[in-house]
Structure formats: C-alpha cells, structure tokens
Structure 1
Amino acid sequence: MIVLDAVAPLMGGMAGSGMAGGMGGWMFVFPLVALLTVAVLLTAGLLGVKLLASESDDGTDASDLDETPVERLQQSYAAGELTEAEFERAVERELEREETGGTATRATETEQTGEAARAR
C-alpha cells in the first residue's frame, strides 16, 4: 500500500508542480526569443557575406570601370607587366584607335599582357 503522506511532497504538494506554480508563460516565451536571436544573427551574417562579395567579385573596383585604356596600360607598365617597347606600341595603338573612333577591346589588352609575361 502507498502512503500518500510520503508521496505528496514528491508531487509538488500544495505549490503545484514543484516550482511554486511552474514556469508559467516563460515556458513558451524563452524558446521563441532564442529562435528569434538565432534568426537575427544568421540574417546579419548572410547580409555581411553578401555585402563583402558584391564589393569585389572579380577583383575590380568601380573606379576601374572609369579608367581609360591608356591608364590601364600605364598601370601594367608600372607593375612591370609590360616592357617599355611594348608599352609604347600599345599606347600608340590606343591613340590611333581614339583618332579613328575605334574602341579598344579588353581581350586584346589581356593578350598583350599575357605575351609580355611569357616573354620573360
């Protein structure tokens, strides 16, 4: 036979569930606050990564888009990617294109830079 006087304190007695009435509404609020906090941190992290990725996907800045072909050649020459003779020929070609109204293609400049690198 079970003695109820011995079991009653284990069941919470007169205080209810043993914690002076239980957790009440906090039992539902705390997990929601924790979930909201995790969601905010994940969103902030993803936005930060997206912002960093959009700044420079291919290594070019917005200022690079405003450069003229001659300025790009000057930078290549200053970086040692072109010899003096290659630089002068390329600048002459660009100036001729400007006079005739033609446009320089970026692929041609890349090929020239590649040839200079292979020559070394």
Structure 2
Amino acid sequence: MMGGAGMMGGMGVWMIVFLFVTLLTLAALLVVSVQVAGTLSAEDNNETTNADPDETKIERLQRRYAEGDLTEAEFERELERELEREDADMGGSRETIEAERTRETERPDK
C-alpha cells in the first residue's frame, strides 16, 4: 500500500510552500508598484510633498534653493526661465514683473 507522500497522497507540504511563495511574490509586486507610482507622480508634479498650495512658482524655487535642492546656477537658470515665462504670459515689461515679485516677497505670512 502506498500512503503518505506517495502518488495517492497528493502534494503534501509542497502545496503549502507553493501557496506561500505565490502570496509573497504578489505582495512584493504590489509594494513595488505602489512605490513606483508614487515616485512617478512626484516627478510629474515636480514638487515636494510639503509644498504649500498657495506658494507661487518663484517662492517654490526660493524654498528649494534654501533647502539645498538646487545649486545657485540651477536656481538662477530656473528663476530666469520662470520670469521669462511670466513676462510672455502677462505680456508685460520686465519692470512690471520685478515690481510684482517685490510685492510677493513683502506679503505678510499667513
């Protein structure tokens, strides 16, 4: 008579091991996919999670520079690009943009 782990006894312990490995693999894939999705989302927004929603793009640049996320050259390049973009959007002169920028820095904290 055959019994136990023989041909008529079924898979035995291997069935439990296979189930455990399968569940562990699925859990690992889930964790990795959530992390990748979070990273891609943060990169798409190009902002950190602690950004103030009322923060202007120039204020965000200033904060990132102060936190050390940007070098001085990167900060100046991005600031110049943002000022040119604002100039084109508003159709105003450079002096108008500089005056508005000064007013933004002078606004009281909330």
Match of 2:94 among 85, 88, 98: 88
For residue 15 of structure 1, give the secondary structure of its aligned residue in structure 2: coil
User: Is 1:15 paired with 2:28?
Assistant: no
* Structure 1 segment 1-120 matched on structure 2, within 5 A: 14-16=1-3, 19-57=7-45, 59=46, 65=61, 66=75, 67-68=78-79, 71-77=81-87, 80-83=88-91, 86-91=92-97, 93=99, 103-105=102-104
> CA–CA distance in 2 between the matches of 1:56 and 1:76?
21
> CA–CA distance in 2 between the matches of 1:27 and 1:60?
47
> CA–CA distance in 2 between the matches of 1:92 and 1:44?
45
Identity between Structure 1 and Structure 2 (%): 35
> CA–CA distance in 1 between the matches of 2:81 and 2:16?
64
| Long gaps (5+) in structure 2 | 49-59, 62-74
> CA–CA distance in 2 between the matches of 1:19 and 1:56?
56
Match for residue 57 of structure 2?
none
Q: Does structure 1 conserve the Cα–Cα contact (< 8 Å) formed by 2:86 and 2:97?
A: no
Moved over 4 A (4+): none
Question: TM-score, normalised to structure 2's length?
Answer: 0.52
> CA–CA distance in 2 between the matches of 1:104 and 1:19?
84
Deviation of the 1:71 alpha carbon:
4.3
Q: Does structure 1 conserve the Cα–Cα contact (< 8 Å) formed by 2:83 and 2:97?
A: yes
